[in-house]
Amino acid sequence: MSTLIQFEKVEKSFSKGQHVIRAVSNANFSVKKGSVLGLVGESGSGKSTLGKMLIGLEMPSEGMIHYQGNPLWKKNKFKRPRPGEIQTVFQDPQSSLDPRMRVKDIILEPLLALDNKQREEKGESLRLISLVKRVGLKAEHLDRYPHEFSGGQRQRIAIARALITDPAFIVLDEPTSALDVSVQAQVLNLLKDLKKERGLTYLFISHNMSVIRYMCDQIAVMYKGRIVEMGPSAELFERPRHPYTKILLSSLPGLFESADEGKLGFANPSEVKPGHEACVFYDRCPYRMEACLKAPAYRNETDEHGFACHLKK
Ligand code: SF4
Ligand code: MG
Q: Concatenated DSSP letters for 251-304?
A: TSTTTSTTSTT-S--PPPPPSSPP-TTS-TTGGG-TT--GGGGSPPPPEESSSS
pLDDT at 258: 47
CB 40 within 8 A of CB 236: no
Cα angle 253, 257, 262; round to 5: 140
Indicate the number of domains in the chain: 2
Count the Cβ atoms, other than its own, within 10 Å of residue 250: 19
Distance 266 CA to ligand 2 centre (A): 21
The answer to whether residue 201 sits within a structural domain is no
What is the reported pLDDT for 230?
A: 98
Q: Is 307 in the pocket of ligand 1 (CB under 6 A)?
A: no
First vs last C-alpha separation in the chain = 31
Stated length of the chain: 313
Taking the CA atoms of 44, 62, 10 and 285 in sequence, report the sign of the dihedral they define. negative
Indicate whether 192 belongs to any domain.
no
Domain annotation covers residue 125:
yes
Which bound ligand lies closest to the C-alpha atom of 312? 1
- Distance in angstroms (rounded) separating the CA atoms of residues 309 and 304: 16
Question: Which amino acid is located at 236 in the chain?
Answer: L
Domain termination site, one of 134, 167, 200: 167
Q: Is residue 175 part of a domain?
A: no
The residue out of 109, 134, 167 marking a domain boundary is 167
Whether residue 143 is contained in a domain is answered as yes
Using the mean position of ligand 1's atoms as its centre, give its distance from the Cα of residue 266 in Å: 12
Cα–Cα distance between 100 and 120 in angstroms, integer? 25
Which numbered atom of ligand 1 lies nearest the CA of 228? Answer: 6
In-domain check, residue 72: no
Residue 46 placed within a domain:
no
Does the beta carbon of 296 sit less than 6 angstroms from any atom of ligand 1?
A: yes
Chain CA centroid to CA 81, Å: 20
Burial class (CB in 10 A: 0-12, 13-18, 19+), 303: exposed
The pLDDT of residue 124 is 75
185 burial (CB, 10 Å; 0-12 / 13-18 / 19+) is middle
**Number of C-beta neighbours around residue 99 at 10 A:** 10
Q: How far is CA 258 from CA 131, 168, 208, 285, in A?
A: 45, 40, 21, 21
Q: What are phi and psi of 181, to 5 degrees?
A: -55, -45
CA atoms of 255 and 240, how far apart (whole Å)? 12
Residues 6+ apart with CB under 8 A from 248: 40, 209, 221
20 alpha carbon to ligand 1 midpoint, in Å?
24
Determine, yes or no, domain membership for 208. no
Counting ligand 1 atoms within 8 A of each CB, the residue from 222, 283, 289 with the most, and so the one to mutate, is: 289
Residue closest to 57 by CA, chosen among 33, 87, 29, 26 = 87
- Say if residues 93 and 155 touch (Cβ distance below 8 Å): yes
In this prediction, residue 1 carries a pLDDT of 79
Strand, coil or helix: 76:
coil
Q: What single DSSP character describes residue 138?
A: -
Ligand 1 center to residue 190 CA distance, Å? 38
310 ligand 1 Cβ < 6 A = yes
Question: What's the gap in Å between 83 CA and the centre of ligand 2?
Answer: 25
| Element at 208 (helix H, strand E) | none
Confirm if 189 and 157 have CB atoms less than 8 A apart: no
Instruction: Please list the ranges in the chain whose pLDDT falls under 70.
Output: 115-123, 253-262
Final residue in a domain of this structure, among 112, 143, 167: 167
For residue 138, the enclosing domain spans 95-167
Its pTM stands at 0.93
